[in-house]
Chain A
Amino acid sequence: VGDKLPSVDLYEGTPNDKVNISSFTEKTIIFGVPGAFTPGCSKTHAPGFIANFDTLKAKGVKHIVCVSVNDPFVMAAWCENLKGEGKVRFLADIHTEFTKAIGLELDATPFLGNVRSKRYCMLVEDGTVKVLSVEPDGTGLSCSKADDFLKLI
């Protein structure tokens, strides 16, 4: 908390569509997940943010971003699957660059084949991290869910 977001490119939709994470200068929620289409991420974590879209907007949140170490095609398909278009931006951290820059890598090699992201949620304002909740075990669903995070902002 208190750190500035690193200037890292994430990808939206295809490997050619870059979005720099530091371009989100207004009040933004960024939540990280271990994997697109994995049970916890798909059934609870991501849908929670999509469902709470209006509540979060009412609190002044301008953007909701989901980051995962997946390729952009998988992220786009996941967004469509969860009906998140227009509510949550699903950005691919293809090379784990952003995740490593914020020190939240999770070695999921035995289950998913490579290094992924821990589960977390952060509130960023003017490019600075104001609130950060990281799941203690990296994958649980205790403090980073939308309804829990709402209480912190």
Chain B
Amino acid sequence: MPKRIIEPLRAYSSKHKFKVGDALPNVNLYENSPNNPVSASELYKGKKGVLFAVVGAFTPGCTNTHIPDYLSLYDKFKEEGYMISCVAVNDPFVMAAWAKSTGAEGKIRMLADPCGEFTKTLGMDIDCTKLLGGVRSHKYSLVVEDSIIQSINVDPESTGLQCLLCIQNMRVVDKADVKR
């Protein structure tokens, strides 16, 4: 893999239990109801896109900035053939309601990690017990292709725009490889 894609790796600490080249773990996320599991390892099988995580559905930052950011880039992502999904440690009913309320329904797959299993598997859990009542997820985004993590952006850097630039950079690299 070309060195240029490895640059974003330096943005995160060693707590994180995954790296570029790893496959998404075989852990269930839930879409719309507790009876609708989706394995994270199947989610992007044969597909490419962005999976981003937020601290909490309906929290101000996530609601007023993060989701609208991704929604404003929806058409560009669609053009690139990218599927966008959002993960949070919330129950599936809350995630579904948030999808409707933010207008993300039908554009971003809103996936619940109710017990934080997916989040903990990636080592991206933070203790928000005092403010929100339990363990939540760090904010991060992953570019994924056929279940394999292509790039990682964590915390302040992980806005929708950053992620899109990353994808566009990768395409430039791909084209450069083809020319060779």
Contact = CB atoms under 8 A, between A and B. Distances in A.
Contacts of A95: 129, 133
A15 B91 contact: no
A110 interface: yes
Interface residues of A, number: 26
Contacts of B115: 109, 113-114
Nearest to A116: B91
A73 B59 contact: yes
B77 interface: no
B58 A76 contact: yes
A144 interface: no
A79 B94 CA distance: 13
Contact of B96 (A37, A78, A92): A37
A111 B58 contact: no
Contact of B114 (A42, A70, A113): A113
Interface residues of B, number: 25
Contacts of A94: 131-133
Contacts of A78: 97
Contact of B101 (A69, A77, A110, A113): A77
A17 to B, nearest CB: 12
Contacts of A71: 56, 58-59, 131-133
- The winner among A37, A92, A95 for most chain B CB atoms within 10 A is A37
Given A96-B133, A111-B34, A113-B115, A36 B59 contact: no
Nearest to A74: B58
B93 A38 contact: yes
B156 interface: no
A7 to B, nearest CB: 19
- The winner among A42, A70, A76 for most chain B CB atoms within 10 A is A70
- The winner among A39, A73, A110 for most chain B CB atoms within 10 A is A73
10 tightest A-B contacts by CB? A113-B114, A112-B91, A37-B97, A15-B131, A71-B132, A111-B34, A94-B133, A77-B58, A73-B58, A37-B93
Contacts of A109: 115
Nearest to A96: B133
Interface in B25-61: 34, 56-60
Given A36-B94, A81-B101, 15 more contacts: A15-B131, A37-B94, A70-B133, A71-B58, A71-B59, A71-B132, A71-B133, A73-B57, A73-B58, A73-B60, A73-B132, A92-B133, A111-B91, A113-B91, A113-B134
